[in-house]
Every structure is written in structure tokens, then in C-alpha cells.
Amino acid sequence: MNNKTKILVTGGAGFIGSHLIRLLVNKYPDTLIVNIDKLTYAGNLANLKDVENMPNYRFVKADICDYEKMQQIFAEYQINGVIHLAAESHVDRSITDPFVFAKTNVIGTLTLLQAAKEYWKNDMNGKLFYHVSTDEVYGSLDHGGFFLETTPYDPKSPYSASKAASDHFVRAFHNTYKLPVIISNCSNNYGPYQFPEKLIPLFINNIRHNKPLPVYGKGENVRDWLYVEDHARAIDLIFHKGKIGDTYNIGGFNEWKNIDLIRVMIKVADRLLDRTEGASEQLITYVADRAGHDLRYAIDSTKLHEELGWSPSLQFEEGIEKTIRWYLDNQDWLDNVTSGDYQKYYERMYINQ
């Protein structure tokens, strides 16, 4: 792919998408970056205030399940590259309402694949459909080993099942129609602008307000954590230099038990809030474990490092302090998100002009 590509980014108002858009818009001024987002609860255009008026950036409010709208966007902007991030991603929500996850993550991906195939059918050269997925499609690990690109799929939740299905559709379009595709599967992300239903921003906000910190089971579940800007760098690198038809795992080599992660967060947050160290440990509240809760995720991203030269830039201790400091310094952002006021930003910016 070259720098004159017109890239369609789906879900660009979300957590990872907003960091990716910011990177691409600033790094490639001659590339048109088209952000489409349905602006559900997790999409926040205020995350992109700093780039919303850049000449190489466009925003379109749209549903990726709307095939006619997707066809229109491909034609209007002459799209020749897709980075597909739009997804329902919260496991607890998928347990409560699996239909929404099947629609967005499976039908939405299929809709985009079909739109890309039809628009590019006469010339696939220089085109790329890059699908951003999750390590959760591989299932759960015990205390040893890592997920490799060749690890068989074994999804355990409705969320991971929907992402696994979307991955299969992407590969099927490559095999059946020769659509140029790449897939990446990433570990848990953390950093600024994450919707506060996710563990790290939720707990930072709860520590700040002296509210309970709900820990599933005994807090023994293990996750591999990656700073979101490092994920955005990896996506950029894979999009421009990755091998068509390949899969790349993206991970931080940074495993933490949930309870240990929480104690590190408490220690840092208490210090930044000028509290006695460990004072907020009293907020830890153990709750019934999540249904089908995977024990451990751990990604081996050796392939990405050896083939494309990527590695994480931040050690976790540095990244988590940077993250906690951002949320504490941006209390207005958190307050707007938790109150729902952020959803009015689209109307102010795009409807009332």
C-alpha cells in the first residue's frame, strides 16, 4: 500500500480507532482518512477534536450493516484500503445480548467484505481489507504456553464467537474471491479515551470516587496488556508492510493477574491522589465469576517483531502510570462519558452547522 491510499477506518470514534485515526491523519497528510462510525455508546467524536478539521480527514455517521450506504461510501471516496475496527467488544454485554454482537461483528463484517469485493472486483491490485480482531478467538490458556497465529480457534463467549466468525468470513473472501486481506489478533489494550466500562478506566474512576472495585472470582484471571498507541503503530505497520493473506498476533509480552493489576493501579492512583499508599485496597470487592470466564490470554507476537520489526514501546509500569495520570487529569472527559453528555457532541459538530 502506498501513501496515496484512501483509507476507510470503521469504528474510528472508538477507543483504539481514535488513536489509529490520529496517527494516520498526522503521519500521512497526502492520504485521505475516512472515518465511519455508528456512534453507539462507545463511539465518542470528542476523542478526535484535535484532527476533526484536518484536510485529509472525513467523518461519516453510518452503520456498517447498511450495505447500500457502504457501497455509496466506497464509490464516493474511491476507497482502496479498509481498516476494520468497528465491533461490539464487551464480553459482559455479549452474555446479556448476543444478537447485537452477531449482527455488528458478523453481518457488519460480511457487509463490508461484500462492498469491498464489488467495488474492487475489476482491479484488486493495491487494495487491502485489514480486519482487526482479538486474541479471545483462541479461547483460554492454562498457566503455560502462548497463542500463536496457528493456534486453533476455540472461542468461549458470544463476543469471541462473533469475532471468530468474522475472521472466518475474512479468510473465506480471500480464498473464494481472492480479496486481499490481512488479519491481526491483539491482546487487551489500555490507555487514554477508553470507555469506562472496561476494567482499567472503570477502576480508575471508582478509585477516584471511593466506589467499590468489583473483582471477578478471586482475581486469578490473567491478561496480556498492550498500550493502545503501540497497537495503533502495529496496525499502521501491518497495513503498509504486512503480507497479504497473513495473520499477525499483537501482544505486549506483559501478563498480569487481574488482582495484581488492580493493586498496582491502586498504588499509583493513591499516590497521584495524595492518599496513603494502599488506602484504596479497602474498595476491592469480590463478586461472582463471569460465565465462561477465560483463565488466561497470552499472545506471542514474535512473527510481527521478526518480520516487520515491531515491539512495544512502553513498559507496563510506565504505561499504567501514564494512563492513570491521563484519566485523573481529564476528569471532564470521564464525567462527560459517564453522564452520557458526550453523545451530544455529534449534534453540536455535524448537525447544527
Q: Do residues 330 and 192 lie in contact, with contact meaning Cβ atoms separated by under 8 Å?
A: yes
- C-beta separation of 183 from 133 below 8 A: yes
Q: Comparing 288 with 10, which gets the higher pLDDT?
A: 10
Burial class (CB in 10 A: 0-12, 13-18, 19+), 98: middle
Residue 216: is its pLDDT beyond 90?
no
Distances (CA, A) of 313 to 194, 230, 234, 265, 309: 19, 7, 11, 20, 12
Identify whether the C-beta of residue 83 lies closer than 8 Å to the C-beta of residue 37: no
d(Cα 45, Cα 103) in Å, to the nearest integer? 23
Name the helix (H) or strand (E) containing 158: helix 158-177
Known catalytic residues are 135-136, 159
Q: What percent of the chain has pLDDT over 90?
A: 73
Task: Check residue 3 and give its pLDDT.
Answer: 42
User: Quick check: pTM over 0.85?
Assistant: yes
The C-alpha atoms of residue 137 and residue 113 are separated, in whole angstroms, by: 20
Taking Cα atoms as reference points, which of 16, 69, 78 lies closest to residue 47? 16
DSSP for 117-156?
HHHHTT--TT-EEEEEEEGGGG--B-SS--B-TTPPP---
pLDDT in tens, 62-82: 999 999 999 999 999 999 999
pLDDT digits (tens, 9 = 90+) for 222-274: 888 999 999 999 999 999 999 999 999 999 888 899 999 999 999 999 999 99
Q: What is the pLDDT of residue 2?
A: 46
Residue 298: what residue type?
A
Which 3 state secondary structure label does DSSP give 251? coil
